[in-house]
C-alpha cells in the first residue's frame, strides 16, 4: 500500500475534505494508475448501485480481477461481502481514522465523477489472454480428414 500519511494529518486533511473524489481513495491503496482506476471504478459502481454482485461488474474489467479488487476492499474495511453482494461499510482501525474520515466524506457525496479524466494514463481496455489452454481447431479438422480416408 502506498499510504502517504502526511496527506491525512489534520491540516492537510481539512483541505482535502473540501473536494473529495474516488481517485484519492484509490491512490491510498494503489500507486499504479490502471490498478487505481479499476479499484475506483468498482468502488464507484458499489456506491452508485448500493450493492454489487460479480455478475453486475462492468464489462471492461474481467470478473476474476474484479473479485480480487473487491475482496481487497473487504479486507481493508471499505466494503462488506454478505449474501454474494458487496456493499459499502466503514470498519477502520484507529491508525486509519483520518483516511476513514476522507473515505466516509467521499461515500456521503452525491457528485458524479468522470473516471476517464481522473485516470487519464490508465489502460481502459480488457487485457488479452496471456496463457492457459488454447482451443485446438486443427485437431477437430484432423479427425474429419482421417475419417474420410
pTM: 0.59
pLDDT tens digits for range 86-109: 998 866 554 466 777 788 888 888
Q: How far apart are CA 51 and CA 84, in angstroms?
A: 10
Q: Is residue 64 very low, low, confident or very high in pLDDT (cuts 50, 70, 90)? A: very high
- Domain residue spans of the chain: 14-111
Q: Does domain 14-111 have CATH number 1.10.8?
A: no
The alpha helices in the chain, defined as continuous H runs, are 10-16, 22-29, 33-49, 63-76, 97-108, 115-118, 137-148
Residue pair 118/21 in contact by the 8 Å Cβ criterion: yes
Query: In the prediction, which pLDDT does 16 show?
Result: 77
pLDDT at 124: 77
Q: Which are the contacts of 47, defined by CB distance < 8 A and separation ≥ 6?
A: 22, 88, 107
Provide the pLDDT for residue 45. Answer: 93
Which residue is associated with the grid cell 462488506?
80
* Residues 14-52 pLDDT 10s: 777 788 888 888 888 888 899 999 999 999 999 999 999
> How far is 70 from 29, CA to CA, in rounded Å?
13
Interval 109-138: pLDDT, tens: 888 888 888 888 888 777 777 776 665 665
Q: What is the DSSP letter of 8?
A: G
pLDDT band at 149 (very low <50, low <70, confident <90, very high): very low
Strands lying side by side in the sheet with 51-52 = 51-52, 85-88, 79-82
Amino acid at each position: 500500500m502506498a499510504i502517504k500519511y502526511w496527506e491525512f494529518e489534520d491540516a492537510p486533511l481539512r483541505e482535502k475534505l473540501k473536494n473529495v473524489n474516488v481517485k484519492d481513495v484509490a491512490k491510498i491503496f494503489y500507486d499504479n494508475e490502471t490498478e487505481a482506476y479499476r479499484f475506483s471504478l468498482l468502488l464507484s459502481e458499489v456506491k452508485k448501485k448500493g450493492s454489487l454482485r460479480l455478475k453486475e461488474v462492468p464489462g471492461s474489467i474481467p470478473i476474476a480481477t474484479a473479485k480480487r479488487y473487491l475482496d481487497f476492499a473487504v479486507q481493508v474495511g471499505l466494503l462488506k461481502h454478505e449474501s454474494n453482494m458487496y456493499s459499502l461499510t466503514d470498519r477502520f482501525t484507529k491508525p486509519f481514522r483520518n483516511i476513514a474520515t476522507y473515505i466516509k466524506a467521499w461515500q456521503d457525496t452525491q457528485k458524479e465523477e468522470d473516471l476517464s479524466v481522473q485516470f487519464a494514463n490508465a489502460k481502459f481496455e480488457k487485457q488479452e489472454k496471456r496463457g492457459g489452454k488454447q482451443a485446438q481447431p486443427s485437431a477437430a479438422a484432423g479427425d474429419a480428414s482421417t475419417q474420410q480416408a
